Structure 1
């Protein structure tokens, strides 16, 4: 078994069924912090901005007393729309980047906007970008990477995601080939990439120098087949159970972590098992089993 000395394991509010700043179906933030610490994790992400306290002093006190540290914040962007959305985007990004910086984290996970609503399935725009939109996406993402680094000392890591324009191997590699490695790195989410037909180990071996961050997630192949057959939006697919508890799904996480270790750089690998919505008592036992499984992989 490879000792994964360069991989730092964590979890996120997502693994507790948290998708929104406020939602009656979600566990309170204090319970999430209690349970993620009890599961044996040291690192967490901020999750949707406003779920955890946005006051750095309060959040620092709450994480410190549980032995937790923050690895990243998360932002949502629609940068393929071009300069017209920059001011609105920056307003959203800057508050989250400031909290991320204040918590001592160095990464900002950037998720592209959905082309269809993840709750209702309403198609919001074409699922395929025009050449002009691709140019704007790459130009504005590089701008974001530059501004976030200059103003907050953070690195952006772009997260390919189901039902967005950066999803399949074709679109992920097109995006990477068109962006400056000095400004834009990749957050590889193993579950989303498998959901969209990609091979995570192959991507790491081919574009390893672009990998800045990992999300660990698995897909249930049987449920995914149903999702694809029904052209189901991502939200209902998650409710159906398309993202499953490791090691029951794909991809196998051991080979992914070994491929990442071979890059010989320090990487966060944050567990994100999409479970919205879920019963409040469901996440903790899964989180404990998942942490134990990852230890068996050397992490």
Structure 2
């Protein structure tokens, strides 16, 4: 179907027929493979299916079962399918970190492929600790580190595609070296468009001052995946003014339930639809840690909201 066609969704909204909506453990307050403050994985699977989602991500490796047969059974009997796995990398440190990086990546990639996923979300490592806010390294990369990041990402993309048939999508993220519009554009311009795509997280990009619609319209051919998220402008203003790290900012509620924050999601979804390609749009609302009964009602309301947008 032509993405620019006249088909309409609910109440005359555009039908977003190229957008495949899902959710992730992150929307249930899951940041780590094992943490007593997180909901058990069985409850996550039950509730994400009950909220009306069909697609999920793996979340941190080890949170969901890592045996492919068991994971396939647990997802299938709930009517769920897996869109992607996720890895954190420190490729800006150069060849010295390749072996350790690949040892982890191949675990996640193998599991993702085994359960039918087509993508691997790659997140750069934090320059300050997301729990303690302690400075880990300088927030700006050197020219040499930018080169390491670009070439290392291309190498990773090639290996993941060749060995596992997955496409990597690199995720700009708050408190990493890939965050602002300037940094994202520098990264895209430095990497091979035939190998490296972007996972545009609307919340993180807004957190760092970026305009998601502008990025989609400018670098549309590089947008390979979406994370749908919003930030609370008032909380964000305080976070920026006081230099608050991302982890404490999340505990303050900087990521909020749609449609109460920014960016507005209908224009983002419409811009993505105009690209004329199938895209996953995975809902994430960072809430670590959160009460176990909090995520499900939010997930239900968010799915209802996205349906009202045509997705």
Instruction: Give the TM-score taking structure 2 as reference length.
Output: 0.96
Q: Deviations over 1:32-80 (max 9, x none)?
A: 0000000000000000000000001000110010000000000000000
Q: Which residue of 2 aligns with 1:238?
A: 250
Quote the offset at 1:229 in angstroms. 1.1
Structure 1 Cα separation of the partners of residues 257 and 238 of structure 2: 18
Q: Deviations over 1:228-267 (max 9, x none)?
A: 1110000000000000000000000000000000000000
Of 287, 303, 308 in structure 2, the residue corresponding to residue 275 of structure 1 is 287
- Alignment of 1:201 with 2:201, yes or no, is no
Instruction: Give the TM-score taking structure 1 as reference length.
Output: 1.00
How many matched pairs? 299
Structure 1: unaligned runs, 5 residues or longer: none
Structure 2: unaligned runs, 5 residues or longer: 1-12
| SS of corresponding position for 1:72 | strand
Structure 1 Cα separation of the partners of residues 137 and 292 of structure 2: 34
Q: Which residue of 1 aligns with 2:309?
A: 297
- Alignment of 1:170 with 2:182, yes or no, is yes
Q: Deviations over 1:86-137 (max 9, x none)?
A: 0000001000000000010110000000000000011010000000000000
RMSD between aligned residues:
0.3
Structure 2 Cα separation of the partners of residues 121 and 75 of structure 1: 21
Q: Deviations over 1:198-255 (max 9, x none)?
A: 0000000000000000000000000001101110000000000000000000000000
- Alignment of 1:189 with 2:231, yes or no, is no
| SS of corresponding position for 2:219 | helix
Of 241, 253, 259 in structure 1, the residue corresponding to residue 271 of structure 2 is 259
> Stretches of 4+ moved more than 3 A in 1?
none
- Alignment of 1:82 with 2:69, yes or no, is no
Q: Which residue of 1 aligns with 2:21?
A: 9
Q: Which residue of 2 aligns with 1:153?
A: 165
Q: Which residue of 2 aligns with 1:38?
A: 50
| SS of corresponding position for 2:260 | coil
Q: Which residue of 2 aligns with 1:104?
A: 116
